[in-house]
């Protein structure tokens, strides 16, 4: 378990940059903590009219990158929260491989995103809500842990699942009503 001991709310990234993430003093950093950060990214995406999915990537040294869904805003069908987070971290670390990292995402990743996690060599995936229609980590497909590919990912689902799912349901309920 990581511990951040900071006097402010700035989390230093591995590349030396910093991001304003809600880090209290002192705090034991757990899966729930990082999922809270992913939820904040998802809420920001919802405010922009995007499907509220957020992701945070954490390495051995702590926070690396975070993003919310942005395919509408960026006119890019690949601009899922997971992909944008991987791009940010890869750029910051100057490496397309991201071993020994954990990706926290509020919704079970799709096939495209699971493929990107395999290519990046992510060590661990932690997701909130399951996606019974397109989930590619456990619900529909088991990419990343079925032994068929050249890399396996440790996968843990259901972290803050109710909150992650409630955010998605509320977003789509509002969208259907409007």
Catalytic residues: 82
What are the DSSP calls for 120-147, one per residue?
A: HT-SEEEEEE--TTT-TTTTS--TTTSS
Closest listed residue to residue 126, CA positions, set 19, 29, 23, 11: 29
Tally of CB atoms within 10 A around 159: 21
Distance, in Å, from the CA atom of 131 to the CA atom of 150, rounded to the nearest integer, reads: 24
HEC profile of 65-127: EEEECCHHHHCCCCCCHHHHHHHHHHHHHCCCCCCCCEEEEEECCCHHHHHHHHHHCCCEEEE
Element (H, E) at 33: helix 31-47
């Amino acid at each position: 378990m990581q511990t951040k001991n900071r006097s402010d709310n700035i989390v230093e990234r591995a590349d030396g940059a910093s991001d304003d993430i809600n880090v209290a003093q002192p705090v034991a950093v757990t899966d729930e903590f990082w999922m809270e950060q992913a939820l904040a990214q998802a809420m920001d995406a919802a405010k922009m009219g995007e499907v509220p999915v957020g992701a945070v990537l954490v390495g051995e040294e702590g926070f690396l990158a975070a993003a919310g869904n942005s395919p509408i805003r960026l006119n890019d069908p690949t601009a899922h929260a997971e992909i944008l987070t991987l791009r940010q971290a890869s750029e910051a670390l100057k490496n397309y491989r991201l071993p020994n990292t954990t990706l926290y995402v509020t919704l079970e990743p799709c096939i495209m995103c699971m493929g990107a996690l395999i290519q990046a060599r992510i060590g661990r995936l932690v997701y909130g809500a399951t996606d019974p229609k397109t989930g590619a980590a456990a619900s529909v497909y088991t990419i990343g842990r079925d032994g068929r590919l050249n890399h396996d990912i440790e996968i843990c689902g259901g972290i803050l699942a109710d909150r992650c799912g409630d955010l998605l349901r509320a977003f789509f309920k509002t969208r259907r009503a409007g």
